[in-house]
Amino acid sequence: MRPINEIIVHCTATPEGRPVTVAEIDSWHRARGWSGIGYHRVIGLNGERWAGRPLDKIGAHCEGHNERSLGVVYAGGVARDGKTAKDTRNAAQASALLAELVELRDRFNIKKLSGHNEYANKACPSFDASKVYDYLFEGRSKGFKPILDAVLKRRDFGPEVADWKDRLKAWRKTIPMAGPLLDGDAFDHNTEMTTILFQKSRGIVADGKVGPQTRSEMELALAGKPPFQALG
Ligand SMILES: [Zn+2]
């Protein structure tokens, strides 16, 4: 096996809602004169997890960074107008992508994840992949600081709150639920309500405050694991 130390996330740059197959991507890449599909894993529109290029073969997905990386792509990344970059991951895709990333991380002990847009002047994958998935690498990937131990609650604000809201958003993408806006760095009403929904879903005290138990439940949830109380 070749040395692998990074996962690079991509989108197919196809319009929201349009199905894309491995064969189709393969034909696009052959048309460019490549030996075939350049990505190692493909997440289909309905959350399918497909194999692309064999993992032990160097990919063709990110110029200058193919040798030691794996390329994972999801179908979408562009709005229905066919040109505006958009994070089009639906709940099934978000959950399949997360599962795929965790599996590859554990299989190859990978400690770094990047979005294609960190290496090229492109929108791909149309979201801030290294930030969104940094928690999977315990902050090691790009040096984002993990959440502090302090309890966060209504009317708090700052980077730790923004970080918690990012986690709430990531969690919400794993379940079929639309929710209120979670922008900015203030612990507002929406943040509190979404925190309560999260706590209820995990069977822990639903007080809308973010302490160690709520945080560790979030780590379990984002890793696709059952509530702590249900373990063992
Ligand atoms: Zn890309």
Break the chain into its structural domains and give their ranges: 6-137, 159-230
The CATH superfamily label for domain 6-137 reads Peptidoglycan recognition protein-like (3.40.80.10)
Q: Are 58 and 137 in contact (CB under 8 A)?
A: no
Q: Are 73 and 42 in contact (CB under 8 A)?
A: yes
CATH number among 3.30.460.10, 1.10.101.10, 3.30.70.20, 3.90.79.10, domain 159-230: 1.10.101.10
Annotated active-site residue in 11, 61, 86, 124: 124
CA of 160 to the centre of ligand 1 (A): 30
Say whether 10 is catalytic: yes
CA of 132 to the centre of ligand 1 (A): 16
* Region at 92 (left for phi over 0; alpha for psi -120 to 50; beta for the rest): alpha
Q: Evaluate if pTM is beyond 0.95.
A: no
**Beta 49-51 vs 41-43: how paired, if at all?**
antiparallel
Provide the pLDDT for residue 114.
95
Lookup: tokens for 84: 């505006």
Annotated active-site residue in 29, 40, 116, 173: 116
Q: What are phi and psi of 116, to 5 degrees?
A: -55, -35
CA of 122 to the centre of ligand 1 (A): 8
**What are the contacts of 102-108 at 24+ separation with CB within 8 A?**
102/136, 102/223, 102/224, 104/7, 104/41, 104/70, 104/72, 105/7, 105/136, 105/137, 108/4, 108/5, 108/70
Say whether 39 is catalytic: yes
Query: Whose CA is closest to 23, among 48, 52, 47, 46?
Result: 52
Annotated active-site residue in 122, 131, 153, 169: 122
CA of 225 to the centre of ligand 1 (A): 29
CA of 110 to the centre of ligand 1 (A): 19
Would you write out the chain's pLDDT as a tens digit for each of its 232 residues?
Answer: 899 999 999 999 999 999 999 999 999 999 999 999 999 999 999 999 999 999 999 999 999 999 999 999 999 999 999 999 999 999 999 999 999 999 999 999 998 999 999 999 999 999 999 888 988 876 556 655 444 557 898 888 777 888 899 999 989 988 777 677 788 888 989 999 999 999 999 999 999 999 989 999 998 999 888 898 765 4
Element holding 6 (H helix, E strand): strand 6-11
CA of 59 to the centre of ligand 1 (A): 12
Q: Rounded CA gap, 98 and 212, in Å?
A: 23
Q: Are 222 and 137 in contact (CB under 8 A)?
A: no
Residue ranges in the chain assigned as alpha helix (H): 22-31, 91-108, 129-132, 159-173, 189-201, 212-222
Say whether 116 is catalytic: yes
